[in-house]
Amino acid sequence: MPSPLPYTNALVIGAGSWGTALTAVLADRGLQVQFWGRDHELMDEIQSTRRNSRYLPGLVLPSSIQATASLNDLQPANLVVFVVPSKAVRETASTMASLPALQSARVLISCAKGIEMNTGRRLTQILHESFPTTPLAVLTGPNHAEEVSQRMATAAVVACENDDIARDVQCCFTLPWFRTYTSDDVTGVEWAGAMKNPYAIAAGIALGLKLGDNAIAALVTRALAEMVRMGIAMGGRAESFMGLGGVGDLMATCYSEHSRNHRVGRLLGEGMPLQEIMSSTRMVAEGVPNTASLHEAAKAKGVRTPLLDEIYAMLYQAKPAKEAMRALLSRDPRSETE
């Protein structure tokens, strides 16, 4: 049985599919949960019908959850969960920094995945700018919202530099079907979570081009090597990339039908223009903006990233997918450990 709760109430910020699923997880665990999103129409719908028909229609949220789009309605919370898209983290954190509901927080948890364009800052670093005295943690792993909403078996990792806080957060995200592990490598876990998305696009492209399982397996394996190389250069530890936040998340994102990034890649491989793909869904495929910010960070740090370079060329320089894949396969031979 899970341990007694270290926190009694939570605030989930961001009403996409993952925010909706995590709201249900925390309510199932027994916390009082406030659920905030910026769209008044959507939040009114969730409050009245207990469903998020836009992003996760199959889930019925418990009646105890309080959904709102009004910042003035928010009450002080022990645990605050940021689940907005990575590009919106800075603006959202800045907007909410002065709210009493967040000033009382004992921990802020980052659940988005990405690196900020131009600054190369991780999401917890951005949150720290607005909340300099509040402990920060990361929740990440191979966690598709669609499966979590159905209470299917799931594992995740909680990363925090404070071991006691990591265990407290772990306790809040421990259910018979939702298992969490802890880590103190916030840097490595965040870089792993950010980097896997572009490679999921590449895996989808390979599928769309019908390159076969051998090619996709090779691509994913070399992607992991590239992630480790980049992560270590940025201050993370190699073992973090071998865990749930690294290879676990990479596999789920590169192979799952639930993965938005994989879907974007598959459609690209089948010949659909990127702009048409992006305009056809409300869902945010983080891998597209992540590719640009990661490519910039790799160049600034001098890290060799041939896969990421080709993904960037396909997304931002209109390089044909077949030509990019051919370029990868025709690179000079080298040792697997290089």
Distance CA 234, CA 231 (A): 5
Distance of CA 182 to the CA centre of its chain: 17
Q: Which pLDDT score, from 0 to 100, does residue 257 have?
A: 83
Q: What share of the chain is helix, strand, coil (3-state, %, to 5)?
A: 50, 15, 35
Q: Which pLDDT score, from 0 to 100, does residue 284 have?
A: 61
- Number of Cβ within 10 Å of residue 254's Cβ equals 27
Tell whether residue 196 is among the known ligand binding residues. Answer: yes
Q: Which pLDDT score, from 0 to 100, does residue 283 have?
A: 60
- Compute the chain's Rg from CA coordinates: 20
Tokens of 21: 């699923």
The full set of domains in the chain, from first to last, is 9-184 (3.40.50.720), 187-329 (1.10.1040.10)
Answer yes or no: are the C-beta atoms of 4 and 149 closer than 8 Å. no
Answer yes or no: are the C-beta atoms of 136 and 169 closer than 8 Å. no
Query: Does 333 score more than 80 pLDDT?
Result: no
Which 3 state secondary structure label does DSSP give 244? Answer: helix
Using the structure block, give the residue that is written with the tokens 């799931």.
Answer: 154
Q: Which pLDDT score, from 0 to 100, does residue 45 have?
A: 97
Of the candidates 69, 74, 75, the one whose C-alpha atom is nearest the C-alpha of residue 46 is 69
* Candidates 87, 196, 319, 322; catalytic one: 196
Q: Which pLDDT score, from 0 to 100, does residue 313 have?
A: 94
pLDDT in tens, 229-247: 999 999 999 999 999 999 9
- Number of Cβ within 10 Å of residue 163's Cβ equals 11
**Number of Cα atoms under 13 Å in the Cβ half of residue 25:** 35
Res. 4 pLDDT band, cuts 50 70 90: confident
Tell whether residue 301 is among the known ligand binding residues. Answer: no
Q: Which pLDDT score, from 0 to 100, does residue 3 have?
A: 66
Which 3 state secondary structure label does DSSP give 80? Answer: strand
Tell whether residue 19 is among the known ligand binding residues. Answer: yes
pLDDT in tens, 55-73: 999 999 999 999 999 999 9
The CA-to-CA distance between both ends of the chain, in Å, stands at 46
Distance CA 306, CA 329 (A): 11
Q: What is the pTM of this model?
A: 0.92
Res. 330 pLDDT band, cuts 50 70 90: confident
Answer yes or no: are the C-beta atoms of 290 and 197 closer than 8 Å. yes
Assess whether 319 carries a catalytic annotation.
no
pLDDT in tens, 139-196: 999 999 999 999 999 999 999 999 999 999 999 999 999 999 999 999 999 999 999 9
Tell whether residue 162 is among the known ligand binding residues. Answer: no
Query: How long a stretch of residues is the chain?
Result: 338
Tell whether residue 197 is among the known ligand binding residues. Answer: no
Task: Name the strand (E) or helix (H) holding 13.
Answer: strand 9-13
